[in-house]
């Protein structure tokens, strides 16, 4: 069973569109939408729900007004400025609260309870391309990294149980907690970037991350024809850093048309960017099966 994660460093480079096309090309796979802040894969792969579950991210402190003596110890000790107000108005701001439990531990009147924080929901669904796990984090939700880890574990478990070879993971932009949780233990990371200075800068940082965790990587340059000189710079940098080059995808209005239609690009058209995507998938598949690049 192989796990492929598609990330980008910079946002908006085309990860989700690519994952949807890979799902269509891969036969049956387990799909995991780990971009839990802004999940979009479901708009194209059209899952039908099987089950939904609460996601408890951590704890949150709640002050019981009846037991509170207004001593202010909690406000003084809180490192996250999450407790403010006076007398009956003293309350915990649940968005600022980190759930560390210090206030509850030291409250002289034991007036603070540390309760489970429901930060969102996750779903098991089925799609034409295979089972899918995805989630919705509540607005201003925390612990997105934990939610990603949960989705990864579920996806692995489904792949094991149903003997499905491939897990396709749609990741999120950046290099922080949710991205780290997306890539650890993966067999291959595919970085989708764009031929811009911003894309180049962010690509270098995200490869720094894959190298930090010693995970093999490849890169694909999307909308490469916007700037062919920068495209070459990305590919040269990739080669210097030990990242494989999976290919290039041209700018094509069909990409948005497919999105509007709610279908993977490779089902919407067969030429233009769609044929570039097919080539990229072939190279990714070959790398996975041949043991490919190791950073």
Partner 1 sequence: MIEEKGSYVMKIAVSSTGPSLDAHMDERFGRCPCFVVASAGESDFEPVDNPCATQGHGAGIQAARLVAEHGVSVVLTGRCGPKASDTLAAAGVLVVTGYGGTVREALEKYNAENASS
Partner 2 sequence: MRIGIASGKGGTGKTTVATNLARVAAREEKRVVYLDCDVEEPNGQIFLEPEVKWRRPVTVPVPEVDEELCDLCGQCGDICGFSAIVPIGKKVLIFPQLCHSCGGCRLVCPLDAIAEIPREVATLTAGEVDGVEYFQGLLKIGEAMSPPVIRALKAVAPQAELVIVDAPPGTSCPVVEAVRGCDKVLLVTEPTPFGLHDLELALDTIGCLGIPCEVVINRAGLNGEATRELCRSRTVEIAAELPDRRSIAEAYSRGEMAVDVDPDFRDRFVALLHRIEDQP
Closest CA to 172 of 144, 153, 194: 144
> Where in 19-58 is the site for partner 2 (CB under 8 A)?
36-38, 40, 43, 58
Q: Which does 50 bind (CB under 5 to 8 A by kind): partner 1, partner 2, none?
A: none
Residue given tokens 């007004």 in the structure block: 65
Binding mask 38-57 for partner 1 (x = CB under 8 A): -------------------x
Minimum distance of partner 1 from residue 146's CB (angstroms): 4
Residue 100 makes contact with partner 2 by CB under 8 A: yes
Residue 247 makes contact with partner 2 by CB under 8 A: no
Residue 216 makes contact with partner 1 by CB under 8 A: no
Q: Which does 153 bind (CB under 5 to 8 A by kind): partner 1, partner 2, none?
A: partner 1
Residue 136 makes contact with partner 1 by CB under 8 A: no
The piece of 7-15, 68-76, 142-150, 265-273 that touches partner 1 (CB under 8 A) is: 142-150
Sign of the CA dihedral with 242 first, then 246, 250, and 253 last? negative
> Where in 144-183 is the site for partner 1 (CB under 8 A)?
145-146, 149, 153
Record the tokens describing residue 203, joined without a space. Answer: 């690509």
Residue 120 makes contact with partner 1 by CB under 8 A: no
Q: How many residues bind partner 2 (CB under 8 A)?
A: 62
CA 172 to chain centre: 4
Residue 79 makes contact with partner 2 by CB under 8 A: yes
Q: In this structure, are strands 91-92 and 83-84 parallel, antiparallel, or unpaired?
A: antiparallel
User: CB-wise, 145 or 199, nearer to partner 1?
Assistant: 145
Residue 197 makes contact with partner 2 by CB under 8 A: yes
Q: Measure the CA–CA gap between 15 and 188, rounded to whole angstroms.
A: 15
Minimum distance of partner 1 from residue 20's CB (angstroms): 29
Site residues, partner 2 (CB under 8 A):
8-13, 16, 36-38, 40, 43, 58-59, 77, 79-80, 95, 98-102, 105-106, 114, 137, 139-142, 144-145, 172-177, 179-180, 194-199, 201-202, 205-206, 208-209, 212-213, 226-227, 230, 256, 259-260, 262
> Would you tell me which residues interact with partner 1 (CB under 8 A)?
57-58, 143, 145-146, 149, 153
């Amino acid at each position: 069973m192989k796990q492929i994660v598609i990330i980008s460093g910079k946002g908006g480079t085309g990860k989700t569109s690519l994952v949807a096309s890979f799902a269509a090309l891969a036969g049956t796979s387990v799909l995991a939408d780990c971009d839990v802040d802004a999940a979009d894969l479901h708009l194209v792969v059209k899952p039908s729900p099987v089950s939904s579950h609460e996601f408890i991210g951590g704890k949150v402190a709640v002050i019981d007004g009846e037991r509170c003596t207004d001593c202010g110890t909690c406000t003084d000790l809180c490192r996250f400025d999450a407790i403010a107000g006076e007398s009956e108005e003293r309350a915990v701001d649940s968005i600022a609260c980190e759930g560390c439990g210090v206030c509850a531990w030291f409250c002289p009147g034991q007036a603070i309870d540390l309760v489970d924080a429901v930060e969102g929901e996750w779903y098991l669904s089925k799609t034409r391309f295979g089972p899918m796990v995805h989630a919705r984090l509540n607005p201003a939700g925390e612990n997105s990294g934990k939610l990603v880890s949960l989705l990864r574990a579920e996806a692995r478990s489904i792949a094991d149980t149903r003997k499905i070879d491939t897990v396709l993971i749609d990741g999120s932009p950046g290099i922080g907690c949710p991205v780290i949780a997306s890539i650890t233990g993966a067999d291959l990371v595919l970085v989708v970037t764009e031929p811009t200075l911003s894309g180049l800068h962010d690509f270098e940082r995200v490869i720094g991350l894959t190298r930090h965790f010693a995970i093999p990587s490849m890169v694909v340059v999307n909308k490469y024809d916007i700037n062919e000189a920068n495209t070459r710079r990305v590919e040269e940098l990739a080669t210097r850093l030990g990242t494989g080059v999976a290919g290039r995808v041209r700018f094509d209005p069909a990409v948005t048309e497919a999105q509007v239609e709610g279908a993977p690009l490779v089902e919407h058209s067969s030429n233009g960017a769609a044929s570039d995507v097919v080539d990229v998938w072939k190279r990714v598949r070959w790398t996975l099966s041949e043991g490919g690049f190791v950073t």
